[in-house]
Structures are given as C-alpha cells and as structure tokens.
C-alpha cells in the first residue's frame, strides 16, 4: 500500500476520533478565545506530540495482536458489542439532553505546550481506539505493520488531530452559538461515530466467517 494512502488513512481515522466536541478540542478553542490563536496552536502542538506517541504504542500493540488471530477474533466480537452499546447509550442520552451553551472560560497557564501534553496524556482513549482501527485496516489489506507504514500512519494520525484542533481554534468563535456545539449534538455525534465503527466491525466479522 502506498505510504500516501496510509498517511491519509491515519489522518482520517484520527480526524473522525476528534470531531466530537470533547476536552481537548474544546480546551483548545477556549484558550484561543481568551489568549489568541497562538496559544491555541501551542496547546494543540502539545496534544499532537502525545497523540503521536500514543498512536505509535497502539500500532505496536496491534502488530503483536495481528500475530494472534484467535485473540483478535475475540476482541472484534467484544468490541462490536461494546460499540453497539455505546452507540445506543449516546443516542438515547442525546434524545433526553437539554441544550447547553459552551462557556469560554479557562484558567491561564504559562506553557500551553506542556498544558496540551498533560491533558492529552490523561486521555488514553486514542490507544485502544487506534489499536483497534489499525488491526481493522490491516485486516482489509489497507496497511501493514512494517516500520515505514507505522511511522507514516502515526504521522498522519498526529496531523489529523492537529487539523481538527486547528478547525476548532479558528472557527469556534463563529460556531460556538450553533446547535451542533451543544452537549446534545455532541452525544449524537459520538453515537454516529461509534455506530459507524460498529458497522465496520460487523462487516469485518462477517468477512471472516
């Protein structure tokens, strides 16, 4: 597989994982609103440094699991059930969620780069998410676990994260009062993404039967 394709696969997978308004992207937006885009970009750079490391760890873990098809098969079925339950939970939660506006208030920090690294390190979701996605992509033959492929994919994932954070930094001031930045819309968005992952997982399971 071309390294260009692998790069954009990493970018796309990371992009959809960061689309829902969450701790990292909303913090980047709030920092930008209060201190300017420069501080927001510095924070985002710190986030992406950790995302790069987390995705690399996930890819190495996925490479190990790829040599154990029996474990992968079990994990796929467990992941499918978990993602379906998460999808149902967030869709039901969203239907009952009252609209809330996001407040642009955050304490000032001396180093936004390290602030981003610390918050990103506390968010361990990218590791299991990326481990699962890399195994899935490899099962479709869209990437392999050669060193060059892994580095290319990881770089794409870091770039995809930065692109979405960049979007929040520069466009949040214009969209902060829109309905899709509410908690209700966030839950719908998360439910849609986990539903999409569930569908991909189901297709992968059916292909192996």
Q: For 54, how many CA atoms within 13 A lie in the half-sphere containing its CB?
A: 25
Q: pTM here?
A: 0.73
Query: pLDDT in tens for each of the 209 residues of the chain?
Result: 688 999 999 999 998 878 766 778 888 888 888 888 888 899 999 999 999 999 999 999 888 887 777 776 777 787 778 778 877 877 776 566 554 444 444 444 458 899 899 989 988 778 888 888 898 888 788 888 899 999 999 999 999 999 999 988 887 766 555 554 455 666 676 677 778 777 877 887 787 66
Q: Identify the sign of the CA torsion 107, 111, 112, 118.
A: negative
Instruction: Give the integer Cα–Cα distance in Å for 197 and 170.
Output: 28
* CA separation for the pair 102, 182 (Å, rounded): 7
Residues 134 and 59: beta-carbon distance below 8 Å = yes
User: Which residues neighbour 62 within 8 Å (Cβ) at sequence distance 6 or greater?
Assistant: 130, 131, 132, 134, 135, 138, 145
């Amino acid at each position: 597989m071309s390294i260009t394709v692998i790069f954009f696969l990493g970018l796309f997978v990371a992009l959809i994982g960061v689309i829902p308004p969450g701790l990292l992207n909303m913090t980047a937006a709030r920092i930008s609103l209060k201190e300017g885009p420069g501080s927001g970009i510095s924070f985002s750079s710190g986030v992406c440094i950790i995302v790069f490391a987390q995705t690399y760890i996930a890819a190495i873990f996925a490479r190990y699991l790829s040599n154990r098809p029996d474990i992968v098969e079990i994990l796929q079925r467990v992941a499918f059930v978990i993602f379906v339950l998460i999808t149902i939970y967030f869709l039901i939660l969203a239907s009952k969620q009252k609209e809330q506006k996001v407040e642009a208030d955050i304490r000032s920090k001396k180093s936004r780069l390290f602030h981003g690294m610390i918050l990103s390190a506390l968010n361990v979701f990218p590791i299991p998410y990326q481990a699962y996605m890399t195994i899935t992509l490899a099962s479709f033959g869209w990437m392999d676990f050669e060193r060059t492929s892994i580095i290319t994919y990881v770089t794409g994932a870091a770039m995809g994260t930065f692109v979405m954070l960049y979007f929040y930094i520069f466009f949040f001031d214009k969209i902060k009062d829109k309905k899709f930045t509410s908690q209700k819309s966030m839950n719908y968005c998360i439910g849609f993404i986990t539903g999409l992952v569930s569908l991909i997982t189901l297709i992968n399971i059916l292909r192996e039967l």
